[in-house]
Amino acid sequence: MTGTFKSCIYDGAVFHRRHRPKKHKLSYRVFSTLLDLDELPALAKNTAGFSYNRFGLFSFHDRDHGSGTGEPLRTWVEGHLKSADISLDGGAIRLLCYPRLFGYVFNPLSVYFCYRKEETEEVLAAILYEVTNTFHERHTYLIPVANQRPEGIVRQACGKKMYVSPFLDMEMTYNFRIKPPTDDITVAIHETNSEGPILDASFSGFRKPFSSSELLKTYIRFPLMTLKIIGGIHWEALKLWAKGVPVTHHPKPPTNPVTVVGKEDKMAA
């Protein structure tokens, strides 16, 4: 049955390059999962080592995303898509994120790929970028997909609404370059302000099947990955502080948990 799953594992790497006010770069080997929200119960039933809304070696919990209340994520996503006048007609919603490992996870960025059914094809209708900072604050940017390029690359942009890093101010624009999930995937963010580029960040990976054997191999390669992520964030922050990068003020998060680009924020060309 696992061969029929659209869900998968992406084995890859995270890369950051800061341009100003001090140069800084990092690269970490990581994996991520692409989870079809409709497949979660079947994944838990048929994949040893993976649990849904329960403790496990690898697990996924609805409350780690969306509203944080544990409501089904499909319901949460479709509700916000409706506010953006987007209907999927029952199409798939697939979430790129880190799973819990031994009950712990931190996802700086989770990406929802939302597909509309058109006869026998899936058409990417919208992408949601769910940003979580280390202060337990979360904000999501919902951007309709339009004018997708022939090579499959999606380019989108929006203004920054929520504080993320002590070393990045609020007057910034996120410029996204996305290669949607197939045999490989890329999520790249080019952050700019009025003075030009500040930071490039990306994740790229290659697809592996979502199976019991592949999960075991993934665990052997990345036994402490979730701790590595949060530890790496603080280690890199310490290095930026040591380089003299100024610390910015932490404003309150926006009251609206989701920014619908095109309604609340003007989309960049």
pLDDT in tens, 1-34: 445 899 999 999 999 999 988 888 888 999 999 9
Q: Is 81 exposed, middle or buried (0-12, 13-18, 19+ CB in 10 A)?
A: buried
How far apart are alpha carbons 235 and 250 in whole angstroms? 20
Does residue 267 contact residue 158 with C-beta atoms inside 8 Å? Answer: yes
Over residues 83-93, the pLDDT tens digits come to 999 999 999 99
**Residues for the chain: how many in total?**
269
Beta bridge partners of 193: 196
The first and second tokens of residue 78, run together, are 């479709």
Higher pLDDT among residues 210 and 233, named by residue: 210
Higher pLDDT among residues 170 and 121, named by residue: 170
**What average pLDDT does range 201-221 have in this prediction?**
96
Does residue 124 contact residue 101 with C-beta atoms inside 8 Å? Answer: no
How far apart are alpha carbons 202 and 188 in whole angstroms? 4
Find tokens 């061969």 and name the residue. 3
